[in-house]
Amino acid sequence: MNELKLGLRDNRTQFRPGDEITGAAGWKLDQPPDAVEVRLFWRTEGKGTSDTQVVHTARFDKPSPEDARPFAFTAPNAPYSFSGKLVSLVWALEMVIKPGNDASRIDVIIAPAAQEILLHKPA
Amino acid sequence: MKARENPFATSRVLKMRYQLLIASWDDLETRLATLGHRAAIVGPHGSGKTTLLEDVAGRLSLRGWNTRWLRLNEENPRLPSSDWPRVLAELGAQDCILFDGAEQLSWLAWTMFKRRSRHVGGLVVTAHRPGLLPTLHTCATHPGLLASIAGNLMGRRDAMPEEDLRDLFCKHRGNLRDALRELYDRWAQRESSAFRRSVGGNGEMVLTKYPHLQIP
């Protein structure tokens, strides 16, 4: 059974634009993979259809079936993490094993003051 | 209420799988094989045709089929590429075309598509009315199904008050997609009398019994 571990330095998940997002991806697989990718992407969630865009990718080609690799991205200037009633924009880091669908994900926040922007006042 | 926390967010609804009520998956797969893997899933708007087609695709993949998707709708009623005859010609006996929205094609375009895909191993389509291909399954909805789906999305074994649920179902004429979108709005706005009546003193949803339903 495949094991995937995706971790951020100091377990930090809240960032300002321009901050460095650092962490490590570890895996223990039954078969040697073609590649392992760590992606920084955003997606929308809410009432409508979802949109998504991968902004940064760290790719490790033909790694050992058991290994761990560090990664570092710079938090983009936009878009910011936000939530309204109709739509949320969520940033996330995802580790993907190729080929196949094995993946591990961590949601993060990228916004000024490292706080998700709320488009409405909480109840 | 944040959009991403709304239990009726599109991403969560799309993860719901089709609930077969009067047949088993074995029955469905047997019938599809009997029909030569050329069949239609029929039903009105918002009755789960696309969801069922996706589930059929998953089962076909498990059985070794190569699945190829085509999706048409009212906004995109034409086949995606002018060289689709060449694309079809490259498919073979182990390929199955999953054609969501096949009825968007004109009669002539559908006739040509059917003819040019005769050599392909399988063709399963969705349509609002029977007639394109032999019917594999007819999707139908009822208030209890809406209750089951809503219960699963909310993660609790409760449901809306029966009368409000029936009103919602009737308002949208059985279209579960539209009903779930309204549930999204109600949850976001917290204006629904259904939710207000359902909320107990401690803010928790009270149980409403649907003994005839199985909510996993």
Q: Are B81 and B113 in contact (CB under 8 A)?
A: no
Cβ-contact B3, A46 below 8 angstroms: yes
* Nearest C-alpha in B relative to A118: B2
Higher pLDDT residue, B197 or B51?
Answer: B51
> From CA A20, how far away is CA A22, in angstroms rounded?
6
Which residues of chain B make contact with A85, given a CB cutoff of 8 A? 1-3, 6, 188-189
Residues of B in contact with A123 (CB under 8 A): 1, 190
- Between B3, B181, B190, which is nearest A88 by CB? B3
What b/e string do you get for B109-136 counting C-beta neighbours within 10 Å, with b at 16 or more? ebebbbebbeebbbbbbbbeeeebbebb
Q: Work out the mean pLDDT of chain A and round it to a whole number.
A: 94
Residue of A nearest to B178 (CA): A47
Tell which A residues from 55 to 94 touch B, by Cβ distance under 8 Å: 83-88, 90
Nearest C-alpha of chain B: how many angstroms from A96?
20
What is the structure's pLDDT at B80? 73
pLDDT at A123: 56
The DSSP line for B76-120 is S-S-S-TTHHHHHHT--TTEEEEEETGGGS-HHHHHHHHHHTTTS
pLDDT at B163: 82
Is A46 in Cβ contact with B6 (below 8 Å)? yes
- Could you give the CA distance from residue B132 to residue B33 in angstroms, rounded to a whole number? 17
Q: Which residues of A touch B180 (CB under 8 A)?
A: none
H or E stretch at A94 = strand A87-98
pLDDT of residue A89: 96
The mean pLDDT of chain B is: 85
Top-confidence residue, A97 or B187: A97
Cα torsion angle, B155, B158, B161, B165, sign = positive
Q: Which of A42, A43, A44, A45 to mutate to test the interface with B (most CBs of B within 10 A)?
A: A45
Q: Does the structure show a pLDDT above 50 at B206?
A: no
CB pair distance less than 8 Å for A88 and B11: no
Helix (H) or strand (E) holding B156: none
What is the interface pTM, i.e. ipTM, of the complex? 0.79
